[in-house]
Homo-oligomer: A and B are copies of this chain.
Amino acid sequence: MNHLTHSDVTALLLAISVLLLCARALGEFFQRLKQPAILGELIAGILLGPTVLGAIYPELQGMLFPTDGPVAIALEAFTTISITLFLFIAGMEVDMSTVWRQGRSTIAVSVLGLLVPFAVGWLAAFFFPYRLGFEGDLSVHVFAMFFATASSITALPVIVKILMDLNMFRSDLGMIIVGAAVVNDLLGWLIFAVILSLMAKSGAGGMPIQTTILLTFGLAALLLTVGRWAIEKLVVWAQAYLTWPGGIIGFSLGLSLLCAALTEAIGIHAIFGAFLFGVAFGENRHLREHTKAILDRFVSFFFAPIFFAGIGLKVNFLTGFDFGVVAVVLGLASVGKIYGAMWGAKLAGIAKQEAYAIGFAMNARGAMEIILGMLALQAGLIREKLFVALVVMALVTSMTSGSLMQRMLKRNKPAKLVDLLTAKRFTARLKATTADECIDELVGLVGVGEKVSMEKIAREVHSREQLLPTGLENGVAVPHARLSEIEEPIVCVGLSEEGIDFNAPDGSKARVIFLLLTSADKHASQLELLADIAKTFGTQTAVDNAVECVGFTEFLAHVRSPHIPQA
């Protein structure tokens, strides 16, 4: 069989499209529930794989996702390329400069946050391997080393997302966490690379292990020093002389796959090369955000979902699930990681509450843990039971660390306009022609069920408006009031084609009017909402586009999916 037949092509395209569509659908669903998208993507694979679909309709499952023949090979090749590109993107997020910026604290958190769970993991796996899903025909030494590494890994992308959600990414604490996670990630992956080559006994082409290890560290050192410098020059050159952004996109993807081929050839997995290249490439002040966005979005929403859903096709999560193993893995890894990182933070002189928050943040594992587990499973380093336990551990830690951090720091997530908009509290055609009428009309949209009467709301908003008019520039107005009776912010929106005079400084008539009602206790909510409105409706074009909306869905689409001007 050297060519794909007509039905092979059909099967391949069907398999990839079904994987992608289901993964994205469930990914979006879980994101709506404020859970990580990867959870939904994995579940999509579990539903389509042997665990569910295979148990109910084994024939259909085998037809859609064959484990044999050219389509199986093609799918495997495609997921290999997917994971390689995903690691390239993950590498791009690693910003080494954060490590230097916070210096001592970062080093303390990362070193203890790595060593403690590593030691705990190693001891547990070495002395009680069977409790961790170890099976007789493996090497206990390599197994213990792997479990130690798996316990100490951290997922940079998850942490970055949690910090951004909490508006803490640019804070000192946020930078310490990110810096420590960067060091953790780099060291963790290097150790894992060494384990994989140990495992392979003799590297590819009969290369001795020492050579593989030496080449691995050599390549890492080279890429992160001279390589980084050369890539920076290359990027400037490419931006000056090649088509843009096509030049950079083609070359960065090509070079990341080339580095992947190189590491695969020296006996460690392809993804290390792509990851290292990503680190060297991404940390580059000349690289444009637009180029990064194209690479990141396409890989994250095309290749990554296919890979993560593909994991569910390979493993039976029902037969592989062992409650004892899951509990032990989750407990050991979390305790080691949280206490290790916290201990490091305390040594660096960070207060107790914040040190705990750092520990919780560093405990998020996410995609990286799952990829590590998958590679170990493929390499025969672990069996299904431990793999399933690692996946559960990765998901549980990712899902909990945000809210644990939030509770520890008593931080509220900033109020966001997009979360507060509802169809009931929106009207595309305001009847009002004056500011007073408009306020009454918008207050009318609040509806029943609030602890405060509409009359009181209207009174408060009117008196606030008389104090100082709320018309902004570009045709936006934000009548508002703080009320002691309400807890969560309320936003009502009205559009007016003719415009209503809210005494804006630029004399413009308001065409998009937001009524903002916030709790009298939470001072910040109102400012956060105002900032969000100013950002979203800061340009004339944004307001013009919004006014043209004929319904709530279109309006919401404008807020959630902004028009970004292209070159």
Contact = CB atoms under 8 A, between A and B. Distances in A.
A351 interface: no
Contacts of A566: 289-290, 293, 564
Nearest to A248: B561
Interface in A223-245: 236-237, 239-245
A246 B80 contact: no
Contact of A247 (B24, B254, B270): B24
Contact of A245 (B242, B289, B561): B561
Given A254-B21, A302-B249, A80 B4 contact: yes
A430 interface: no
A300 B253 CA distance: 13
A76 B4 contact: yes
A81 interface: yes
A461 to B, nearest CB: 27
Contacts of A265: 10, 14
Contacts of A27: 250
Contacts of A563: 288-290
Interface stretch (A64-72, A441-449, A489-497): A64-72
Contacts of A338: none
B10 A249 contact: no
A3 interface: yes
B240 A557 contact: yes
Given A250-B24, A302-B250, A4 B77 contact: yes
A251 to B, nearest CB: 6
Interface string A285-327: 0101111011101101110010000000000000000000000
B17 A561 contact: no
A297 B249 contact: yes
A77 B74 contact: yes
Classify the interface of chain A: helix, strand, loop or mixed.
helix
B564 A250 contact: no
Given A254-B20, A261-B13, A286-B557, A78 B80 contact: no
A466 interface: no
A450 B274 CA distance: 50
A109 to B, nearest CB: 30
A4 B73 contact: yes
Interface residues on A, range: 35 or more
Contacts of A14: 258, 261, 265
A417 to B, nearest CB: 13
Nearest to A246: B301
Contacts of A302: 249-250, 253
Nearest to A77: B74
Given A240-B556, A250-B24, A257 B17 contact: yes
A67 B298 contact: no
A288 B561 CA distance: 8
A21 B37 CA distance: 33
A240 B553 contact: yes
Nearest to A22: B254
A9 interface: yes
A16 interface: yes
Contacts of A77: 4, 12, 70, 73-74, 77-78
A567 B302 CA distance: 20
A64 to B, nearest CB: 11
A324 B302 CA distance: 46
A560 to B, nearest CB: 5
**A-B pairs with the 9 shortest C-beta distances?**
A74-B77, A239-B557, A24-B250, A17-B257, A240-B556, A13-B261, A239-B561, A244-B561, A21-B254
Given A2-B69, A13-B257, A240-B555, 14 more contacts: A10-B265, A13-B80, A13-B81, A16-B257, A17-B254, A24-B250, A28-B242, A236-B557, A241-B560, A248-B561, A249-B302, A293-B294, A564-B564, A564-B565
23 contacts: A1-B73, A2-B68, A4-B76, A9-B264, A10-B261, A12-B77, A13-B264, A17-B260, A20-B257, A21-B254, A24-B247, A239-B561, A240-B552, A240-B553, A240-B556, A253-B302, A286-B554, A286-B557, A289-B564, A289-B565, A289-B566, A294-B297, A564-B566
